[in-house]
Amino acid sequence: MKLILDACCGSRMFWFDKENPNVEFCDIREVPNHEFYPNRYIEIKPDTVCDFTDLPFEDNSFKLVVFDPPHLLKAGDTSWLVLKYGKLDNNWKSMIRDGFNECMRVLDDYGTLIFKWSEVDIKVSEIIKVIGTKPLFGHKSGRLNNTHWMAFMKFPE
């Protein structure tokens, strides 16, 4: 059993080791190696194809879960942005809440959840309201400081 889950891995952009054997890479889609812009390629090749709102893993299965869901609402369905990052639908609030809850469900007690969110269309303050819990700590990054990395821990009930 792998110790780490990336629940929506996309093209594994932020992973230093994109083939890390300790990580179960999941995504709802597969995209064969594709040139989306001249000399720029993307490939989405998850270990497990699944919806992050309904993960096919048992409770308390992972020590670390990475949750980097789609963050775009307004991009065109066939745009390279949607190809690269995915897109939320009009039901995005329940999608994010259900995805967060699923990530916490499969996280082991005292495990860590890293939640990455980009404020392109939706502010992180609204995301925190939707998931109903505050992170332990976080960090803004990126050229415009609109990407937030947030850490949560699962405490047993």
What is the side-by-side order of every strand in the sheet holding 62-67?
Answer: 48-49, 23-27, 4-6, 62-67, 107-118, 147-153, 137-141
Give pLDDT, residue 145.
Answer: 80
pLDDT tens track for 8-67:
999 999 999 999 999 999 999 998 888 877 888 889 999 999 999 999 999 999 999 999
pLDDT tens track for 77-128:
777 777 778 888 899 999 999 999 999 999 999 999 999 999 989 999 999 9
Give pLDDT, residue 62.
Answer: 98
**pLDDT grade for 75, boundaries at 50, 70 and 90:** confident
Distance CA 25, CA 79 (A): 24
Distance CA 23, CA 19 (A): 8
Give pLDDT, residue 83.
Answer: 74
> What sign for the dihedral angle of Cα 109, 112, 118, 122?
positive
**pLDDT grade for 73, boundaries at 50, 70 and 90:** confident
DSSP 115: E
